[in-house]
Amino acid sequence: MTLINKIGLIGLLGVVALIVIYLIRPNYQQKTVSSTYVWKLSLKKKKKKVPVSKIRNLLLFLCQMLALTCLAMVLMKPAIVLKTPSEISEAILIIDTSASMRTESAETATTRFERAVTQADEQAKQVLRGGGTLSVALAGDDTDFLFKQISGDGAAATVSEALKGLDMQNFGYGSANIDGALKECEDILYGNPDAMIYVYTDASYYTTPDGIEVVNVAEEGEWNAAILDARAVWDDGYYSFTVQVACYGKDARLSLNMRVYGVNGEAGKSLNYTVAADCNDNETTTLIFRYRKDGEAADTNVKNQQVFDLGNLGGSDQTKINSFSSVHLSFSGDMEDCYALDDNFDVFGGQKQTLKVQYASAEPNPFVNGVISNLRSDFADSWDIQPTEVKKGEAGATQGFDLYIFERTMPERMPTDGVVFLLDPATSPENCGFTRSSEVGLSPTNGKYPSLFGDTEHAVMKNVDPNYIRVSRCQVISNYDASYQVLMSLNQMPMLMVRNNMPGGAQTLVMNFSFAYSNLGILPEFYLLMKNSFEYFFPATVEKYVFSVGEKAELNARGTSLTITGGDFEEPMVITEFPATITLSVPGTYTLKQTTYYGTETEESVYVKMPEAESNITEIRSNLYNPDREKNEADYYKDVLTYIAAALVALLFLEWCLHLKDGV
């Protein structure tokens, strides 16, 4: 038994007060005087009651004293001890494995990670040799415990050997989830809330919770010049470039070199530019490289922004850049900072893939031409769409194009080297996979022609509502291959079908009604339908050309496979199921190669940069997660207040019963 709230002992003063009250209370002698027989008889009777009265008074005193004692015990919160808190010292060591821990001091030639491991080893020896218990956690994207509550003879040597065997090269290049690591420690703190946590990191915190000690392993004089981001922007027919740089740890004027390769499709042609960037107060500076327009001011007054005219930077070579294979950015000169992972940057996506489109129609209409024009504009960043319109009365080609659009008048045989759109087919081309039997007119109901019904879950039908499309005449398809998927129908007749079963058959879209006999051409659904179809049959290999370490990339292909090299792939990685998602965990350049269904080999590259937060090696963070370490008294003590309360009620009831005699 123990007392949780020992200050409750003051409540026992109530017992002392009760005793004092009984001592100083006037003690009147109880006598009865009578001169009659009745008096004698009454006196005889009262004399018999005197002993009982004394016992009752004694019982009342005891009940009151015990009741006050119970009340005092309630204040003291007595409990039965189930287990006692650990008196053995326990520590948890958390080591930061983020990319910024690779920062190397110029003076000591040691990295922050190496210094963290050394200091953690010293703390581990101190705890274990003192008979304590130790846990060691490595904080990265996830938390890995190297040891969990190790103790005993030889533990110090075991931990020391394991710590010395740690190599930063075996860890990732992302950020460390220190808060997540602290949360993982809560199961240890549940058993011992008094365990001390040591966090070995390179960041400072404004506030630190009790029971946590942050050991900052950064050294004075460490600094980092960083290329944080770079983008190529299509601007009025030419490329401009936006670069973000920063210098952490000191103010500096950085010399930045930008070399552009494969300028305007010439493999051996490159342009080189070198500029000075002023970086102060650990703030990001934006550098803009573009062609200044006539009469435009030479610079801007925007803080932390510098604008450079590519026309002047190029010297005698005034070539304007309308395509490039890659751009390499680096710091020039003898600059040696303490963190080299962000000193270079590559930009890709400057070469558009050519897409040849043929439009052949018995009666060319502005709806299709308008869609082709809009697609050409919307996909200008990634595709050079080159349309060709077949003159009226001439037969369209069946080879040499990437996309064939036939309207009404069909070719004799399906093309085999590109995607084919068949609009309002009056005949069935050879190898088309369906049979067109007739043309049928539809009757209106209540003045409205019938609307279509469709599968809105398909990618081609994204944001397209077929109920808005009304048709007055259509082609009847008597049968079609199982490779076709019907997306829109009318009275069980297929109105829109797609086939994407390459290899083994042309990728095909079939629309079995005419613009002249429907309202599709004037609806926004038409452009959405064509845009979705374009993205479905000509998917982008990758959604962008710059990623951060740890980011996921969704990949697609226009062939049966996609091969990835570079980065953390020691061997080429071949993907055969699409769309596919991969995690880019190592900085650098990744190359994506594929052969399309039609034999065209393509190659694209993406760059994976360091997280910007890891470039800021002088970061000060606001707060640190405070793990739950509250002691749960129910695990240590069994409450007996219920029993004390029951005794108190019993005593009060007994006192009440004794007082009933006063009324007799």
Beta 305-309 vs 285-290: how paired, if at all? parallel
Q: Residue 3 carries which DSSP code?
A: E
Query: Which helix H or strand E contains 57, and what residues bound it?
Result: helix 37-76
> Based on the domain organization, do 316 and 233 belong to the same domain?
yes
Q: Which two tokens stand for residue 362?
A: 């018995």
What is the pLDDT, as a whole number, of residue 645? Answer: 82
> Based on the domain organization, do 510 and 558 belong to the same domain?
no
Helix axes 641-659, 37-76, angle to 10 degrees: 170
pLDDT (tens digit, 9 = 90+) per residue, 344-383?
999 999 998 999 999 999 889 999 999 999 999 999 888 9
Nearest of 76, 21, 653, 111 to residue 338 by alpha carbon:
111
**b/e map of 357-369 (b: 16 or more CB within 10 Å)?**
bbbbbeebbebbe
> Based on the domain organization, do 362 and 490 belong to the same domain?
yes
32, part of any domain: yes
Mean pLDDT in residue range 633-639? 60
> Based on the domain organization, do 387 and 425 belong to the same domain?
yes
> Based on the domain organization, do 466 and 501 belong to the same domain?
yes
629, part of any domain: no
CATH number where 431 lies: 3.40.50.880
Single residue among 186, 221, 256 that ends a domain in this structure: 221
Which has more pLDDT, 658 or 100?
A: 100
| Lowest pLDDT segment from 20-29, 148-157, 507-516 | 20-29
Q: Which of 55-64, 87-96, 506-515 has the highest mean predicted lDDT (pLDDT)?
A: 506-515
Mean pLDDT in residue range 527-542? 96
> Based on the domain organization, do 507 and 555 belong to the same domain?
no
616, part of any domain: no
Residues 624, 244: Cα–Cα separation, whole Å? 29
275, part of any domain: yes
C-alpha to C-alpha distances, 367 to 199, 377, 395, 526, 613, nearest whole angstrom: 65, 16, 20, 9, 49
CATH number where 563 lies: 2.60.40
Nearest of 114, 90, 91 to residue 101 by alpha carbon:
114
23, part of any domain: yes
Single residue among 337, 366, 396 that ends a domain in this structure: 337
> Based on the domain organization, do 398 and 528 belong to the same domain?
yes
User: Are residues 648 and 73 in contact, defined by beta-carbon separation less than 8 angstroms?
Assistant: no
Residues 548, 327: Cα–Cα separation, whole Å? 18
Residues 556, 547: Cα–Cα separation, whole Å? 16
Tell me if residue 42 falls in helix, strand or coil: helix
Tell me if residue 37 falls in helix, strand or coil: helix
Q: Which two tokens stand for residue 259?
A: 């070399």
> Based on the domain organization, do 521 and 414 belong to the same domain?
yes
> What's the length of the chain?
664
Q: Residue 264 carries which DSSP code?
A: G
> Based on the domain organization, do 585 and 497 belong to the same domain?
no
pLDDT (tens digit, 9 = 90+) per residue, 223-248?
999 999 999 998 888 899 999 999 99
Longest CA span, the chain:
154
pLDDT (tens digit, 9 = 90+) per residue, 480-498?
999 999 999 999 999 999 9
Neighbours of 164 (CB within 10 A): 11
In the chain, what percentage of residues exceed pLDDT 90? 67
Query: Which helix H or strand E contains 242, and what residues bound it?
Result: strand 238-248
Q: Residue 542 carries which DSSP code?
A: B
66, part of any domain: yes
Torsion sign (Cα): 243, 382, 532, 506: negative
User: Are residues 639 and 221 in contact, defined by beta-carbon separation less than 8 angstroms?
Assistant: no
Beta 270-279 vs 285-290: how paired, if at all? unpaired
> Based on the domain organization, do 433 and 481 belong to the same domain?
yes
Q: Which two tokens stand for residue 488?
A: 């829109």
CATH number where 179 lies: 3.40.50.410
Alpha-carbon dihedral 103, 108, 112, 118, rounded to 10 degrees = 160
Single residue among 274, 306, 337 that ends a domain in this structure: 337
544, part of any domain: no
> Based on the domain organization, do 560 and 494 belong to the same domain?
no
The per-residue DSSP string of 371-436 comes to HHHHHHHHTTTTEEEEEEEPPTTSPPPSSS-SEEEEESSPPSB--SSSEEEEES-SS--BTSSEEE
> Based on the domain organization, do 161 and 215 belong to the same domain?
yes
pTM (2 decimals)?
A: 0.79
Structural domains counted in the chain: 5
Mean pLDDT over all residues of the chain?
A: 88
262, part of any domain: yes
Enclosing domain of residue 113: 90-221
